[in-house]
Amino acid sequence: MKLKKLIEDYDIEAVLISSKYSLRYFTGFTGTTGIALAFAEKRFFFTDFRYVVQAKEQVEPNGFTVVKVERGAIDTLAEYIKNSGVKKLGVEDKHVTIAEYSDYKSKFEDINFVSLGDSLEKIRMIKREDEIDKIKKAVEIADEVFKLVVPEIKEGVTEKYLSNFMEYHMKRLGGEGPSFETIIASNYRSALPHGVASDKKIEKEGFVKFDFGVYYDGYVSDITRTVYYGENPSEKHLEIYNIVLEAQKLACSSVKPGITCSELDKIARDYITEKGYGDYFGHGLGHGIGVEIHEFPYVNAKTETILEEGMIITIEPGIYLEGFGGVRIEDDVVVRKNGGEILNKTSKELMILK
Amino acid sequence: MKLKKLIEDYDIEAVLISSKYSLRYFTGFTGTTGIALAFAEKRFFFTDFRYVVQAKEQVEPNGFTVVKVERGAIDTLAEYIKNSGVKKLGVEDKHVTIAEYSDYKSKFEDINFVSLGDSLEKIRMIKREDEIDKIKKAVEIADEVFKLVVPEIKEGVTEKYLSNFMEYHMKRLGGEGPSFETIIASNYRSALPHGVASDKKIEKEGFVKFDFGVYYDGYVSDITRTVYYGENPSEKHLEIYNIVLEAQKLACSSVKPGITCSELDKIARDYITEKGYGDYFGHGLGHGIGVEIHEFPYVNAKTETILEEGMIITIEPGIYLEGFGGVRIEDDVVVRKNGGEILNKTSKELMILK
């Protein structure tokens, strides 16, 4: 339905879907070699002998007919395009390479190519309930993994030991693996917003920041928790933790249809700024999640997208003090009619692990 | 040096390096956001504030000067290109998207873009000794992981359990993770050349095929071993195993500088064909490995590339009998002056696990 509307809006006859995540979303295909051609009414999926069986199982329920191709789909695609009388064809200009495009231009006769920009990605913004269920399950696994890793935080183990432990359990619990490179940043490294797990050993008296997620049936979760490891958190540790926590809760409780992304960002940012740490929150409040870890809408000061029912966004304010440490707290939140539904069950109160 | 030659060969003034693996190879950068501009003499690497510290450490030893850019490198790149009087600029047409290219065309004034095809990738074919050492280490970890997983092969455990176990140990042993999706295919699934680990449980009396590899310091290994699990391998199990083993050994001992890829493929293929199974070896004999799991040269019937000292290729013949099972045996082999140096130490004799 959404593809049909896109075809009408762009005044084209068909769309060529070639990028990994758009293929996954529109056709259901999880293999590595395939391309789809969608008309307003008919839809075709081209793949080679290696993937024909898998493709039939995955794409036919989504209305695509599988076409088996020999060595490269372009010649077969060209026939279908010609026989269907296509004059204007939408392409994913943000994914198709110059070499592929040059191939299209030489093989597809008399075609006007229309750049679709982010249009296919934007269709994915509003999630169906079956998509939300998969994300819920991905969040559930992440919550469980966090519960398991907490007792493993000990002096002398490395951040990489912890991330490896977590990724093992993600898969043991039915996930397909991490949805992005697991971030574990301890003590001074917690001030790095994106400090992926390193060989640094865990030491007492400092924050340990975990930012991680899981793929479940093609959908991601994304969660951040920051704990304190040691006996004596300083006033400053407690202060910045509580500011981030309040800002995060405030933003979560402000989620509702009708608010813009920039307004939501401003709520958390203003709170942190009032408390004197605005300069130390150097990234946006959050982003959409779905088949990719970063999707539309982006929740930052510049995005005027209006939140709608069925969107799922992360809410993840932070404060990062170089040389000292940093805190980020992040939940995945579904936009519901009456407000935000927070999917994560892991407590956000500061854990002080002795 | 090799970039300088490429610039001369293409009669251009500079090369824009933008793809992940080419950046990794030429500049040493392991982050996600950066682009390089290489002239015959000078080289620049453009990245934003998040990666400046990391980039200096990684790219300066390789002769690149770090340039810090604000939100998107294109404007800064355009200045450098203009100020250097570039008229012809080489681009990675197999990686640059239509949208990026259109951005280049609008921002870079009076420039002729020259498509480099696979030229940057082909520079990577011949490995330096420090690259070979990294691949050796990646192979060593893979050998160790295989030793650990063998005792875990038991009735009732799933293929995914085994792959998760292996990936945990890859990282525990210092690897960065799997170099591709781990293939574990048991019993009838072993007839699938690329059967990634599934929820299927291990059962007695059949092959279990493992095809996996490890990333170590940015370089991959790739190994396949097939074991028999059960008491009573049939004559056919033993027959096809031994044919593949002989073909693999024959090809390994034929590796030397001067032989072409197609000649090497033919040696293994002819042996399997003589034994009556030529139709069941439906893929090429192997491929190069390096910073990517599949690199030049591709070792198949159509590739006329001549093997040279310092190339590293896989040798991986197989026989796949649908519904019955399949065998593949694979080593990583360095082309040396006097022949092939097989990096894998894991035995290739059939293991029958009871």
Which residues have a Cβ under 8 Å from the Cβ of A62 and sit 6 or more positions away? A26, A27, A28, A43
Residue-range definition of the domain harbouring residue A6: 2-123
Closest chain A residue to B19 measured between Cα atoms?
Answer: A97
> Is there a cis peptide before residue A297, judged by omega within 30 degrees of 0?
yes
Please report the pLDDT score of residue A72 as a whole number.
74
Q: What would the pLDDT profile of A120-155 be if each residue is shown by its tens digit? A: 999 999 999 999 999 999 999 999 999 999 999 999
With contacts defined as CB-CB under 8 Å, which chain A residues touch B171?
160, 164, 167
Across the interface, which of B91, B97, B194 has its CB nearest the CB of A94? B97
Q: What would the pLDDT profile of B251-293 be if each residue is shown by its tens digit? A: 999 999 999 999 999 999 999 999 999 999 999 999 999 999 9
Q: Are B62 and B38 in contact (CB under 8 A)?
A: no
Please report the pLDDT score of residue B31 as a whole number.
85
Same domain flag for B22 and B150: no
Q: Are B167 and A172 in contact (CB < 8 Å)?
A: no
State how far residue B309 is from chain A, nearest Cα, in angstroms. Answer: 31
For all residues of chain B together, what is the average pLDDT?
96
| pLDDT interval class at B187 (50, 70, 90) | very high
With contacts defined as CB-CB under 8 Å, which chain B residues touch A94?
97-99
Please report the pLDDT score of residue A53 as a whole number.
86
Domain boundary among A94, A123, A152: A123
- The C-alpha atoms of residue A315 and residue A127 are separated, in whole angstroms, by 17
Instruction: Please determine, for residue A75, whether its predicted confidence score (pLDDT) is greater than 80.
Output: yes
Across the interface, which of A95, A99, A164 has its CB nearest the CB of B168? A164
For all residues of chain A together, what is the average pLDDT?
96
Structural tokens at position A38: 């969608």
Instruction: Please determine, for residue A235, whether its predicted confidence score (pLDDT) is greater than 80.
Output: yes
Listing from the earlier edge strand, what are the strands of the sheet with B223-229? B183-186, B206-212, B223-229, B352-353
Q: Please, what is the Cα angle at A274 between A268 and A277, to 5 degrees?
A: 80
Across the interface, which of B93, B95, B168 has its CB nearest the CB of A168? B168
Question: What proportion of chain B, given as a percentage, has pLDDT over 90?
Answer: 93
With contacts defined as CB-CB under 8 Å, which chain A residues touch B93?
97-99, 102
Top pLDDT among A2 and A341 is at A341
The closest alpha carbon to B286, from B244, B228, B332, belongs to B332
Instruction: Please determine, for residue B224, whether its predicted confidence score (pLDDT) is greater than 80.
Output: yes
Same domain flag for B309 and B276: yes
Any B CB within 8 A of A102 CB: yes
- The C-alpha atoms of residue B61 and residue B48 are separated, in whole angstroms, by 19
- The C-alpha atoms of residue A1 and residue A9 are separated, in whole angstroms, by 12
With contacts defined as CB-CB under 8 Å, which chain B residues touch A160?
171
With contacts defined as CB-CB under 8 Å, which chain A residues touch B194?
50
Torsion sign (Cα): B258, B260, B264, B266? negative
Domain boundary among B123, B142, B168: B123
Same domain flag for B108 and B207: no
Domain boundary among A71, A101, A123: A123
Please report the pLDDT score of residue A204 as a whole number.
96
Q: Are A96 and B98 in contact (CB < 8 Å)?
A: yes
Please report the pLDDT score of residue A208 as a whole number.
98
Q: Are B99 and A115 in contact (CB < 8 Å)?
A: yes
Q: Are B98 and A102 in contact (CB < 8 Å)?
A: no
Element (H, E) at B142: helix B129-149
Q: Are A171 and B194 in contact (CB < 8 Å)?
A: no
Instruction: Please determine, for residue B71, whether its predicted confidence score (pLDDT) is greater than 80.
Output: no
Residue A211 neighbours by CB distance under 10 Å = 23
Mean pLDDT of all residues in A59-67 = 96
Burial class of A171 by CB neighbour count within 10 A (0 to 12, 13 to 18, 19+): buried
Same domain flag for A133 and A210: yes
Tokens 């982006």 found at: A298
Q: What would the pLDDT profile of B92-136 be if each residue is shown by its tens digit? A: 999 999 999 999 999 998 899 999 999 999 999 999 999 999 999
Any A CB within 8 A of B94 CB: yes
Instruction: Please determine, for residue A49, whether its predicted confidence score (pLDDT) is greater than 90.
Output: no
A232-240 — which CB contacts under 8 Å span 24+ positions? A232/A205, A233/A205, A233/A350, A233/A352, A236/A321, A236/A324, A237/A207, A237/A325, A238/A350, A240/A277, A240/A319, A240/A321, A240/A326, A240/A327
Across the interface, which of A96, A160, A171 has its CB nearest the CB of B164? A171
How much is the CA Rg of chain A, to the nearest whole Å?
23
Same domain flag for A198 and A312: yes
Please report the pLDDT score of residue B73 as a whole number.
86
Closest chain A residue to B100 measured between Cα atoms?
Answer: A94
Any A CB within 8 A of B95 CB: yes
C-alpha neighbours within 13 Å on the C-beta side of residue B329: 25
Instruction: Please determine, for residue B72, whether its predicted confidence score (pLDDT) is greater than 80.
Output: no
Closest chain A residue to B98 measured between Cα atoms?
Answer: A93
Same domain flag for A288 and A314: yes
Please report the pLDDT score of residue A233 as a whole number.
97
Same domain flag for A43 and A146: no
Instruction: Please determine, for residue A51, whether its predicted confidence score (pLDDT) is greater than 90.
Output: no
Q: Are A98 and B99 in contact (CB < 8 Å)?
A: no
Same domain flag for A293 and A177: yes
Q: Are A96 and A17 in contact (CB under 8 A)?
A: no
Structural tokens at position B299: 């070792």
The closest alpha carbon to B212, from B166, B165, B267, B152, belongs to B166
Backbone angles phi, psi at B92, to 5 degrees: -85, 85
Mean pLDDT of all residues in A213-219 = 97
User: Which of A97, A115, A198 to mutate to test binding with chain B, by most B CBs within 10 Å of its CB?
Assistant: A97
Please report the pLDDT score of residue A82 as a whole number.
92
Backbone angles phi, psi at A236, to 5 degrees: -65, -40
With contacts defined as CB-CB under 8 Å, which chain B residues touch A93?
97-99, 102
Residue B120 neighbours by CB distance under 10 Å = 23
The neighbouring-strand residues paired with B326 are B320
Please report the pLDDT score of residue A313 as a whole number.
98
Query: Angle, nearest 10°, between helix axes A129-149 and A159-172?
Result: 130
CA distances from A121 to A42, A129, A131 (A): 21, 18, 15
Any B CB within 8 A of A50 CB: yes
Same domain flag for B89 and B112: yes
Instruction: Please determine, for residue B70, whether its predicted confidence score (pLDDT) is greater than 90.
Output: no
Instruction: Please determine, for residue B1, whether its predicted confidence score (pLDDT) is greater than 80.
Output: no
Q: Are B93 and A115 in contact (CB < 8 Å)?
A: no
Any A CB within 8 A of B347 CB: no
Tokens 């003499």 found at: B41
State how far residue B296 is from chain A, nearest Cα, in angstroms. Answer: 18
Please report the pLDDT score of residue B49 as a whole number.
82
We report the CATH number of the domain holding residue B98 as 3.40.350.10
Structural tokens at position B279: 């139709």
B249-252 — which CB contacts under 8 Å span 24+ positions? B249/B348, B251/B285, B251/B315, B251/B317, B252/B315, B252/B331, B252/B333, B252/B340, B252/B342
Residue B192 neighbours by CB distance under 10 Å = 18
Same domain flag for B29 and B76: yes
Q: Are B93 and A99 in contact (CB < 8 Å)?
A: yes
We report the CATH number of the domain holding residue B277 as 3.90.230.10
State how far residue A171 is from chain B, nearest Cα, in angstroms. Answer: 7
For chain B, the first-to-last Cα distance in angstroms comes to 55
Please report the pLDDT score of residue A328 as a whole number.
98
Same domain flag for B160 and B283: yes
Please report the pLDDT score of residue A223 as a whole number.
98
Any A CB within 8 A of B185 CB: no
Top pLDDT among A296 and B49 is at A296
Same domain flag for A116 and A182: no
User: Which of B32, B89, B97 to mutate to test binding with chain A, by most A CBs within 10 Å of its CB?
Assistant: B97
In one-letter notation, the amino acid at residue B82 is: K
The neighbouring-strand residues paired with B342 are B333
Any A CB within 8 A of B102 CB: yes
State how far residue B101 is from chain A, nearest Cα, in angstroms. Answer: 7
Q: Are B93 and A97 in contact (CB < 8 Å)?
A: yes
Per-position DSSP letters for B208-243, written without gaps between them: EEEEE-EEETTEE--EEEEEEESS---HHHHHHHHH
Any B CB within 8 A of A95 CB: yes
Structural tokens at position A91: 């392409």
User: Which of B30, B47, B51, B98 to mutate to test binding with chain A, by most A CBs within 10 Å of its CB?
Assistant: B98
The closest alpha carbon to A40, from A109, A79, A89, belongs to A89
State how far residue B94 is from chain A, nearest Cα, in angstroms. Answer: 5
With contacts defined as CB-CB under 8 Å, which chain A residues touch B91?
98
Number of domains making up chain A: 2
